[in-house]
Amino acid sequence: MENHQMIYRSTRGSHITATPSGAILQGLAPDGGLFVPDRIPEYPGTLDRLTQQSYKEVALEVMGLFLTDYTKEELKHCIDSAYDSKFDIPEITRLKEADGVWYLELFHGATIAFKDMALSILPHLMTTAAKKNGVTDEIVILTATSGDTGKAAMAGFADVPGTKIIVFYPKGGVSAVQEKQMVTQRGKNVHVAGINGNFDDAQTAVKNIFGDAKMKEKMARAGKRFSSANSINIGRLVPQIVYYFYAYGQLAKAGRIQTGDSINVVVPTGNFGNILASYYAKRMGLPIGKLICASNENRVLVDFFHTGVYDRNRDFILTTSPSMDILISSNLERLVYAAAGEDAAATLGLMQRLSGEGVYEIPEQMRRTLQAFYADCASQQQTSDEIRRVYNAAGYVIDPHTAVASDVCRRYQEQSKDRKATVIASTASPYKFARTVVTAIRPELAGQSDFELIDALKEISGVRIPQAVEDIRTAPVLHDTVIDAADMEDEIARWLGI
Ligand SMILES: *Cc1c(COP(=O)(O)O)cnc(C)c1O
């Protein structure tokens, strides 16, 4: 591990700094900015060595470059505690070739979405950070979810001593399985509430509560402090860089690429965390050609990459890929900061325009730094067609989020004739979205119940039903709170008894 200590700075004020463990504890920077590393470390290993390493070995090496104030023993302990039998395959993630592209299956964790890749380790990183920093306050994780973060964060933090977790999800804006997974969550330290509103309403309210000085004081008096499990927390982002390195090593190991060859990466994108991790991997020296950003009908990012204008003033569309139903894509702020040459004042100005008028435009010289990105979107019809097409071509069933990426990928390949080996981030098990997936392949089954469709999916795919889905068939509903977004702060105070 390197001796150089990494410093994290706020995207909105470079004088605001934190150690890696301090940044993880805080989640959001105190000025409302996002913590970013003061430089992107170069990957010191050889690509050949990657082919020999297990997921955990790659994780130790890559995460150690960013989390420099954790000892190797501390990091190893966090990694061993996270990537264990909670995952249903010993390799943690794997590549599946189907119809000429590689689907990187990131959904083998406890809640069958890619959020588990980071949220299984975040509680360990955070409790280690608290110890290192002499923090004795109870850590209250406050999370807005578009469907998958909430469950994965609760599963990670349930009954972790010294922590509580509160999750807000858009009532009516998540899939049946996603909602059932959340409202059946056990654990004395977990609370979940639906809100009348969409994901952006929940995420904005959470950010405002983080920034509320009075609330902070109230919390401090009660011996508590907030932190975040959303991908605004650098402790979410760093573990996601790992699997791009691991995937590259596995492709080379299988002889599908020569070490040194560039690959393309396609990421179904919502809050821009996953694709940002691939961008960091590229900047660390991993040979990635295009970073392909795939959106659903909420195509705010596609328009941004095409025009340089970010405009959230548009209708919020509920789609069949709900975890990407987002108009305020938080992590884009980290890319904007990089594109602005790490100019925090310029980033602050743009973000103030976003929260004021809901729109900002980046200048031409910033746009030029984003040329590695390609962006396109898929409609709900195209998504459904792609699920059926991949199934008919390869007998492989993908979830709707992955299908958005897959559809964008095929059209990119046709138009560009770019034939580089391509990895598509496969972000959820199709079982999490059984209704959408089964009716795409067998429309005549639309009348069946959600659990009948899950059984039908088993027949269609030949893939066994994940434990996470079996668990919710009979699990009792433990949470039924539904509130307005405006009442979130009161709900938090009530539940915490402060
Ligand atoms: C969260 C999520 C996404 C979007 O990932 P971001 O990092 O927010 O861009 C895509 N697909 C699924 C299934 C998700 O849960």
Is 2 a residue whose pLDDT tops 90?
Answer: no
d(CA 193, CA 183): 8
Q: What is the pLDDT of residues 167-177, one digit of tens each?
A: 999 999 998 88
What is the pTM (predicted TM-score) of this model? 0.96
d(CA 148, CA 153): 9
Residue 148 covered by a domain: no
The mean per-residue pLDDT over the stretch 274-296 comes to 98
Q: What is the pLDDT of residues 239-265, one digit of tens each?
A: 999 999 999 999 999 999 999 999 999
The mean per-residue pLDDT over the stretch 36-46 comes to 95
The mean per-residue pLDDT over the stretch 23-48 comes to 95
- State the pairing for strand pair 101-105/138-144: unpaired
Spacing, Cα 425 to ligand 1 middle (Å): 10
Mutate which of 272, 274, 426 to test ligand 1's pocket (most atoms within 8 Å of Cβ)?
274
The mean per-residue pLDDT over the stretch 350-375 comes to 97
* Mean pLDDT computed over every residue of the chain: 96
The mean per-residue pLDDT over the stretch 353-377 comes to 97
Q: Quick one: which atom of ligand 1 is closest to the CA of 146?
A: 1
The CB of 400 under 6 Å from ligand 1? The reply is no
Which two three-digit tokens encode residue 398?
């993908």
pLDDT category of residue 485 using cuts at 50, 70 and 90: very high
Q: How many residues does the chain have?
A: 498
Q: Quick one: which atom of ligand 1 is closest to the CA of 147?
A: 15
Residue 456 covered by a domain: yes
Residue 253 covered by a domain: yes
Could you tell me the residue range of the domain that residue 427 belongs to?
A: 94-113+235-466
Q: Is 37 left (phi over 0), alpha (psi -120 to 50) or beta?
A: beta
CATH number for the domain harbouring residue 427: 3.40.50.1100
d(CA 321, CA 302): 16
Q: 169-172: list long-range contacts, CB under 8 Å, 24+ apart.
A: 169/144, 169/145, 169/193, 169/194, 169/195, 169/199, 169/202, 170/146, 170/194, 170/195, 170/197, 170/198, 170/199, 170/201, 170/202, 171/195, 171/196, 171/482, 172/318
Q: Are 20 and 70 in contact (CB under 8 A)?
A: yes
Q: Quick one: which atom of ligand 1 is closest to the CA of 274?
A: 7
Q: What pLDDT is recorded for position 469?
A: 94
Residue 188 covered by a domain: no
The CB of 148 under 6 Å from ligand 1? The reply is yes
Which two three-digit tokens encode residue 405?
């990426």
Spacing, Cα 3 to ligand 1 middle (Å): 34
The mean per-residue pLDDT over the stretch 415-429 comes to 97
Exposed e or buried b per residue across 65-97, where buried means at least 16 C-beta atoms within 10 angstroms of its C-beta = bbbbbbeeebbeebbeebbeebbbeeebbbbee
Mutate which of 34, 265, 276, 401 to test ligand 1's pocket (most atoms within 8 Å of Cβ)?
401
Residue 338 covered by a domain: yes
Residue 443 covered by a domain: yes
Lowest pLDDT segment from 222-231, 304-313, 391-400: 222-231
> How many structural domains compose the chain?
1
The CB of 270 under 6 Å from ligand 1? The reply is yes
Q: What pLDDT is recorded for position 315?
A: 96
Largest interatomic CA distance in the chain: 61
Is 3 a residue whose pLDDT tops 60?
Answer: no
- CB within 8 A of 491, min separation 6: which ones? 193, 481, 483
Q: What pLDDT is recorded for position 169?
A: 96
- What CA–CA distances, in Å, run from 356 to 204, 310, 352? 13, 13, 6
Which residue blocks in 308-449 are alpha helix, DSSP H? 332-339, 344-356, 364-368, 380-394, 400-416, 434-441
- What amino acid is encoded at 315 in this protein? D
Which two three-digit tokens encode residue 312?
């959230």
CA dihedral 232, 235, 236, 239 (to 10 degrees): 150
The mean per-residue pLDDT over the stretch 290-298 comes to 98
Residue 350 covered by a domain: yes
Q: What is the pLDDT of residues 328-345, one digit of tens each?
A: 999 999 999 999 999 999
d(CA 397, CA 281): 28
Lowest pLDDT segment from 208-217, 416-425, 432-441, 451-460: 208-217
d(CA 54, CA 28): 32
- CB within 8 A of 391, min separation 6: which ones? 397, 441, 460
Mutate which of 104, 116, 148 to test ligand 1's pocket (most atoms within 8 Å of Cβ)?
148
Q: Quick one: which atom of ligand 1 is closest to the CA of 148?
A: 15
Is 459 a residue whose pLDDT tops 80?
Answer: yes
Is 106 a residue whose pLDDT tops 50?
Answer: yes
CA dihedral 284, 285, 286, 287 (to 10 degrees): 140
Is 493 a residue whose pLDDT tops 50?
Answer: yes
Coil, helix or strand for 145? coil
The CB of 273 under 6 Å from ligand 1? The reply is yes
- C-alpha closest to that of 231 among 190, 270, 271: 271
Q: What pLDDT is recorded for position 433?
A: 96
Is 439 a residue whose pLDDT tops 50?
Answer: yes
List residues with catalytic annotation.
Answer: 115
- C-alpha closest to that of 173 among 296, 266, 34, 357: 296
The CB of 344 under 6 Å from ligand 1? The reply is no
Q: What pLDDT is recorded for position 41?
A: 97
- What amino acid is encoded at 360 in this protein? Y
Q: Are 428 and 147 in contact (CB under 8 A)?
A: no
The mean per-residue pLDDT over the stretch 345-358 comes to 97
Residue 71 covered by a domain: no
